[in-house]
Amino acid sequence: MRKIFNFLLASAAALTLLAGCAKEDNRENVLKIYNWADYIDEDVLTEFKDWYKEQTGEDVTIIYQLFDINEIMLAKIERGHEDFDVVCPSDYIIERMLRNDLIIPIDRDFGDTPNYIDGNLSPYIIDCFNKIDGHGKNANDYAVGYMWGTTGIMYNEKFVTPEEASTWDILHNEKFKGKIFIKDAFRDVYGPVLIYLKNRDLAEGKVTLDELMYDSSDESIAMVEEYLKEAKKLIAGWEADFGKEMMTKEKAYVNLTWSGDAVWAIDEANQVGVKLNYVVPKEGSNVWFDGWVIPKYAKNVKAARYFINFMCRPDIAVRNMDATGYVSAIGSPEVLEAKTDPSLDEYVDVSYFFGEGADSVKINGIQYPDASVVARCAMMHDSGDRTEQLLEMWARVKGDNFNIWIVAVIVVAALVLVRIAMVSRKKKHRRHGKR
Ligand code: N2P
């Protein structure tokens, strides 16, 4: 259903784009947003237009486009110079965009309109954005946190025990052969696998989690590659966004995925009696952050700024969370109140996010991991020139999966098509000859 919706949304967006192209002079009334799929409450987009009109007296038309992979979005801006007004990269991509001068500072002067950004963003998010290494530029001036979460293992409780799921070694567990999906996000997979493989060094204090997040040495890449190639013998495939569906339909039992996807799938599965769960393995993992930025090729900076501001309004943040399963960067009391659920059994220490009084809150621990879980997670960083080596490793790992039979079928199909084309050409010639 979501796929169909996304398709319709993308088609509608494309149509709006065409309309926009027809009237070039209207570009200043168009807001081009480029966001992850399944990452917003769609009604919020319509409401933004009304709110923007109220605040500024100006009309705005939204073109909303979707991506599934950070690098695809980055390439459109870095190489394609596409004129998106606002996009939503992850932490390590924000780092790269800062280093490569691809984004502009976000001016927070909204005149009479309230500034929902400052004062509502959780101090935890601000601290983490301070750690984004922008070569002298502070990420908090150029990016505003949207959602965040962890990378972990979603599992089906009928087939997988919590112990089996609580180690990254599950990716090598023969018991789940053909029932594992891995997120098609090289950076989000590389980090946790490296943490797992370097677990002894971490325990012995030879390296810290943060240092590992910068490690893209040949030796580490080779270790991860070997581990993933072994894992590949067991996996059913790589997924950019269909892992949730595979899990709810019990076509897969294990999914290396993001916490928000897991929350959405757990909820969906529950309604059909399928029990899914999610854990951040004991060895540690990534904690990731996505934020709104304004690329330097943007054509409607004003609407982009207002849109980012609107996304930070606590009621809008809660609605986006409820629609997607992901967790907003907004840490205001309204959000804490909306997300506290007395019917839950667990108490979670979320003081790092909501402040001192929140050290024992009945709240969803997958969305808001306990402080002890966050302590074994670290943020990803851009690998600079080494990104190519990482991408090549990822391609080698995934490429081997390209079945020889698939190649054979493609070649045969191509030959058949060529043959058909030749025969119909000959017939045409003959017909022309007879005339
Ligand atoms: C949701 C995408 C989540 C992005 N489909 C995680 N960085």
pLDDT at 190 over 50: yes
Identify the pLDDT of residue 425.
72
Distance 342 CA to ligand 1 centre (A): 28
pLDDT band at 7 (very low <50, low <70, confident <90, very high): very low
Q: Does pLDDT of 433 surpass 60?
A: no
**Of 7 and 326, more confident:** 326
pLDDT above 70 (res 150): yes
pLDDT at 219 over 90: yes
Q: Is 37 in the pocket of ligand 1 (CB under 6 A)?
A: yes
Mean pLDDT across the stretch 262-285?
98
Q: Is the pLDDT of residue 244 over 80?
A: yes
Q: Kindly indicate the confidence band of residue 146, based on its pLDDT and cuts at 50, 70 and 90.
A: very high
Q: pLDDT tens digit string along 66-119? A: 999 999 999 999 999 999 999 999 999 999 999 999 999 999 999 999 999 999
Q: For the whole model, what pTM was predicted?
A: 0.87
**What is the tens place of the pLDDT at every residue in 364-397?**
999 999 999 999 999 999 999 999 999 999 999 9
Residue ranges and CATH numbers for the domains of the chain are 2-147+290-327 (3.40.190.10)
Task: Say if ligand 1 is within 6 A of residue 36 CB.
Answer: yes
The percentage of the chain sitting over the pLDDT mark of 70, rounded to a whole number, equals 89
pLDDT of 420 reads: 75
Average pLDDT over residues 299-308: 98
- pLDDT score recorded for residue 423: 73
Mutate to test the pocket of ligand 1, among 67, 93, 187, 261 (most ligand atoms within 8 A of CB): 261
Confidence of residue 22 (pLDDT cuts 50, 70, 90): very low
Rounded Cα–Cα distance for residues 79 and 12 (Å): 25
pLDDT higher than 70, residue 15: no
Does the C-beta of 90 come closer than 6 Å to ligand 1?
A: yes
Residue nearest to atom 4 of ligand 1 (CA): 36
Choice from 34, 35, 147 to test ligand 1 binding pocket (greatest atom count within 8 A of CB): 147
User: What is the average pLDDT across 263-267?
Assistant: 97
Q: For residue 1, what pLDDT band results from cuts at 50, 70 and 90?
A: very low
Give the pLDDT score at 297: 98
CB-ligand 1 contact for 38 (6 Å cutoff): yes
